[in-house]
Amino acid sequence: MIRVEFITAQGERVSTQAEVNSSLLETGQACGMPLEGTCEGQMACSTCHVIIAEEWFAKLRPASDEEEDMLDLAAGVVRYSRLSCQIVLTPDLDGLIAHIPPESRDMQLL
Ligand code: FES
């Protein structure tokens, strides 16, 4: 297991444990983050958009062209934006910090 920390749009810190090789999307959903992940990792929705903490961004595998294209369509994209479904939690990402974008809305929680 590795440790992952989410920071909600309201600034609340939520620490959780994640299985190695699980996705950041699954991990966020498991601890109640409002990440819809409508397309379940098929890079067709961008509802899994997160903003990676600057100090962790360079440690991730670079985004594919498909991911970049999909991010272009996401609301509130910034320099450190990624699709959480594309981030595989490898042991070197122990301690990863990801922000939930303010635009994120999970319809199921409204
Ligand atoms: Fe749809 Fe990530 S879950 S792009």
* C-beta separation of 82 from 60 below 8 A: yes
Per the structure, the count of domains in the chain is: 1
Q: How far is residue 90's CA from residue 44's CA, in Å, rounded to a whole number? A: 24
Residues with CB under 6 A from ligand 1: 25, 37-41, 43-48, 70, 83, 85
Q: pLDDT digits over 2-30, tens only?
A: 999 999 999 999 999 999 999 999 999 99
Tokens matching residue 72: 């272009």
DSSP readout, 7-34? E-TTS-EEEEEE-TT-BHHHHHHHTT--
Range of the domain at 69: 2-109
Q: Let me know how long the chain is.
A: 110
Amino acid, res. 20: V
Q: Residue 44, Cβ neighbours under 10 Å: how many?
A: 11
- Taking the centre of ligand 1 as the mean of its atom positions, its distance from the CA of residue 76, in whole angstroms, is 16
- Taking the centre of ligand 1 as the mean of its atom positions, its distance from the CA of residue 70, in whole angstroms, is 9
Q: pLDDT digits over 84-100, tens only?
A: 999 999 999 999 999 99
Write the CATH number for 88. Answer: 3.10.20.30
